[in-house]
Structure 1
Amino acid sequence: MMATRILPTILNFRSLSISNSRCHHFLRNLDGRLNNPSQSYTKISARSMFIQVEETPNPNSLKFFPGQQVIEGGTIDFPTPISAFKRSPLAEALFKIEGVKSIFFGRDFITITRSNEETDWKVLKPEVFASIMDFYATGLPVLRENMEIVNNESEVPKGKDDETIEMILELLETRIRPTLQEDGGDVKFMGFENGIVKLKLQGACTSCPSSIVTLKNGIQNMLQFYIPEVMAVEQVLDEIDQINQKEFEKLESKLKK
């Protein structure tokens, strides 16, 4: 039922208008046949470790590839230092670097988001390199034993919107999430109510200067094109993020005193 509604038209999405914003260039990759955006690579070899760095559409985020598995699968987001506490020794080490705002783990990459554009990547990158190499040299696991990896795959709730939610999840899983992950980020489905799709942006997508444009002109347009029931898309925070944000603001306030 879902396939007959979506798949016959999936390759015709190129007919829709595509914005020139850096942050939602992912639309140009949706059918897999348009040119990929330019990428910049920096490579370093030390202590038998080869780290590759890739730019993202967000000028404040970079993807670091340590050449080794980071996590087994899925993704995990550390939006604040508190969110990494007692969960990942690698994330804790990276947060000790001045200028690191948030951290995002993929299967084979680490996305680092800096605090602001005033934080020079030329200064920050060597510290990130050293921190990653020092950590892997210890042989410690990236995540602590009780840490769960988030696959962002949501179960379809039972109700009148079952079919619509199934189609939303299908598009997110097959067309949107893979491309966002290439850009060092991800999106998590948080719910669908009264025609509103609630999503949570993660990683490089969260602090991108054009994240709202990406959400509205990118994801929303695509969902509305295939699913008439979708009236709008909005970004939300989950309960853990809200708690982390409040605690982080309290910590910042204390440090300023």
Structure 2
Amino acid sequence: MAWLPLFLSRSGYRPVAAVAGAAKRSVAITRQRTPSRWISTSASPRRRRQTGWFSHYYTRHSQPSPVSNGSIMGSYCHVRTMFVQTQDTPNPNCLKFLPGVTVLESGTLDFPSPISARGSPLARQLFRIEGVKGVFLGRDFVTITKLDDEETDWATIKPHVYATLMDFFSSGLPVVTEELPSNDTEVQEDDDETVGMIKELLDTRIRPTVQEDGGDIQYMGFEDGIVKLKMQGSCTGCPSSTLTLKSGIENMLQFYIPDVKEVIQVTNVCATIPYLSLATQLFHSY
């Protein structure tokens, strides 16, 4: 019998050849049982097709995060650290996304168009998704407004929004790069008692309820007994916005403040700000 080197194990002395053979069998079993979702993006086309829709989507429509090094394993592990929830709104064209992290420290921001999103890297990335019409940011949520047409549906948009939110909040980029506008319901020194009461009611009784539905209301002014408000987020174009404005907000303000005669919705904000109105006219003239 030929002499064989021995390998000391817990069960005693074993030949080295036997240990090597067991290791090869272990590697073979591991390769057979490797889940397809952990296969790298550099795998063969046949193997990539077995990795499922998430792998296919993430490699084609998203940039790999810094921790993933371009692999599906890194991307998948990172995704598991963030759970994005969705919530329906009264507006069928708006959907509320809750990423589970703080989006804004305070207040809300409305971006009705890509041009208005120049001060928010997050909004700019969301506008790159085909079918996104508007972006609204709240304290802990993001409301997306899609185009109102038959070709654009949520089943197509939602995966893109999920990937964008996960990539952005893992990148460490700031949500906004410009100074936030002052709170429109903050009582100013030159506000009279009636205006102060209107702002207080809007801020404490009305806005929290509206924000739960993924929207907000911006105070635009009070003149001759008429309160001017601008609907934002999911409230923009919502079928029930008129009912909310008249039956809810108007009745509450009139109950507590007798000087309020009517509440109207302001749709063309540029018309109330001279330099914005002029800029809009010049923009459309080219």
TM-score computed with the length of structure 2 as normaliser: 0.64
| Contact kept in structure 2, 1:53 and 1:64, CA below 8 Å | yes
Q: Which has the higher contact order (CA 8 A, sep 6+)?
A: 1
Do structure 1's residue 138 and structure 2's residue 171 form an aligned pair? yes
Q: Which amino acid aligns with 1:136?
A: F
Do structure 1's residue 46 and structure 2's residue 82 form an aligned pair? no
Corresponding residue of 2:226? 196
Change (3 A) 1:244 1:121: farther
What CA distance in whole angstroms lies between the structure 2 residues aligned with 1:47 and 1:243?
46
Shift of 1:238: 3.0
Corresponding residue of 2:262? 232
What CA distance in whole angstroms lies between the structure 2 residues aligned with 1:210 and 1:245?
32
What CA distance in whole angstroms lies between the structure 2 residues aligned with 1:151 and 1:72?
13
Bigger Rg, structure 1 or 2 = 2
What CA distance in whole angstroms lies between the structure 1 residues aligned with 2:182 and 2:233?
13
SS in 2 for 1:49: coil
Do structure 1's residue 177 and structure 2's residue 207 form an aligned pair? yes
Q: 1:60 aligns with which of 79, 84, 93?
A: 93
What CA distance in whole angstroms lies between the structure 2 residues aligned with 1:217 and 1:66?
32
Shift of 1:57: 1.4
Do structure 1's residue 151 and structure 2's residue 183 form an aligned pair? yes
SS in 2 for 1:234: strand
In structure 2, stretches of 5+ residues that fail to align are 1-77
What CA distance in whole angstroms lies between the structure 2 residues aligned with 1:55 and 1:93?
22
Shift of 1:149: 5.0
TM-score computed with the length of structure 1 as normaliser: 0.71
Change (3 A) 1:152 1:211: same
Change (3 A) 1:123 1:243: farther
Corresponding residue of 2:103? 70
Change (3 A) 1:66 1:175: same
Shift of 1:207: 2.0
SS in 1 for 2:186: coil
Change (3 A) 1:98 1:72: same
| Contact kept in structure 2, 1:113 and 1:204, CA below 8 Å | yes
Corresponding residue of 2:143? 111
Deviations 1:201-228 (A, max 9, x none): 1111112123222212221122112222
The 5 A counterparts of 1:205-224 are: 205-224=235-254
| Contact kept in structure 2, 1:152 and 1:189, CA below 8 Å | yes
What CA distance in whole angstroms lies between the structure 1 residues aligned with 2:261 and 2:181?
31
Do structure 1's residue 127 and structure 2's residue 157 form an aligned pair? no
Instruction: Count the aligned residue pairs.
Output: 203
What CA distance in whole angstroms lies between the structure 1 residues aligned with 2:232 and 2:194?
23
Corresponding residue of 1:187? 217
Shift of 1:196: 0.4
Q: Which amino acid aligns with 2:248?
A: G
Deviations 1:172-218 (A, max 9, x none): 11110000111111111111110100111111111212322221222
Do structure 1's residue 101 and structure 2's residue 133 form an aligned pair? yes
Shift of 1:242: 6.1
Shift of 1:243: 5.4
Deviations 1:2-40 (A, max 9, x none): xxxxxxxxxxxxxxxxxxxxxxxxxxxxxxxxxxxxxxx
Comparing 167-176 and 211-220, the one that deviates more: 211-220
Shift of 1:137: 2.5
SS in 2 for 1:230: coil
SS in 1 for 2:83: strand
**Percent of residue pairs bearing the same amino acid type:** 58
Shift of 1:124: 0.9
In structure 1, stretches of 5+ residues that fail to align are 1-44
